[in-house]
Amino acid sequence: MKQQIIIKSADLFLNLGFKSVTMDDIAHEMGISKKTIYQHFDNKTKLVEAAMLHVFENVACGIDHIRELNVNPIEEIFKIKQFVMEHLKDEKSSPQYQLQKYYPKIYAGLRIKQFEVMQSCVKQNLQRGVELGLYRDSINIEFVSRIYFNGMLALKDQELFPLKKFSMNALMEHYLEYHLRGICSPKGVEFLLSLNQLKPTN
């Protein structure tokens, strides 16, 4: 039952937001009493923490599976982007922004975990790209990987990028173009265009 509560709560939080979803809502959706939830979680904060850790672990596991496919590094970036967007419901409720605002301690802990996963993933992607001649061999991998991570966080800042002006999917597309145009070699840009992911520059 505990795992079922975590899974349902995570789905509701991602779809509707952390603030609007109450313990009553979760109990109603599951057809159980609120008392049953409190048997497993002392309060909503504990449930939010468990739910978001569950989401993080699922996303990290999915990213690992994509990395194991050992596809072209440029393709890998787009596959990971598609997987993450689908898993986070296209971030319709901007969960990371809400998590930071209403549950800052949980957000801070997850941010450390996200950084560790992304550093490993992005650095490996950059190294393979350089070895295959798709990325410029002059890039500073340590610098680019950290800029990439911080840029991803910035996209979820609604004060910088309000959802009324920018959909998360569009932001991700623009950001990947910005990132890849900056690091790709001529060979990499040629491959990028062959994927029809980006428009040729004039």
Taking only the tens place, the pLDDT of each residue in 60-113 is 999 999 999 999 999 999 999 889 888 776 555 567 778 888 999 999 999 999
Domain 44-194 part of CATH 3.40.50.300: no
Q: Per-residue DSSP letters for 84-112?
A: HHHHTGGGTT-HHHHHHHH-HHHHHHHHH
Nearest Cα residue to 100 out of 53, 153, 50, 146: 153
d(C-alpha 75, C-alpha 191), whole Å:
9
Query: What confidence score (pLDDT) does residue 169 get?
Result: 84
Q: What is the mean pLDDT of each run of 10 residues along the chain (202 residues)?
A: 95 88 95 95 96 93 94 94 78 70 93 91 96 97 96 86 84 92 96 71 44
Report pLDDT for 200: 47
For the chain, the domains span 44-194
Residue environment code for 96-114, b if the CB has 16+ CB neighbours within 10 A, otherwise e: bbbbbeebeebbeebeeeb
Of the candidates 52, 93, 30, 188, the one whose C-alpha atom is nearest the C-alpha of residue 44 is 52
User: Do the Cβ atoms of 136 and 185 come closer than 8 Å?
Assistant: yes
pTM score, two decimals?
A: 0.84
Strand, coil or helix: what is 190?
A: helix
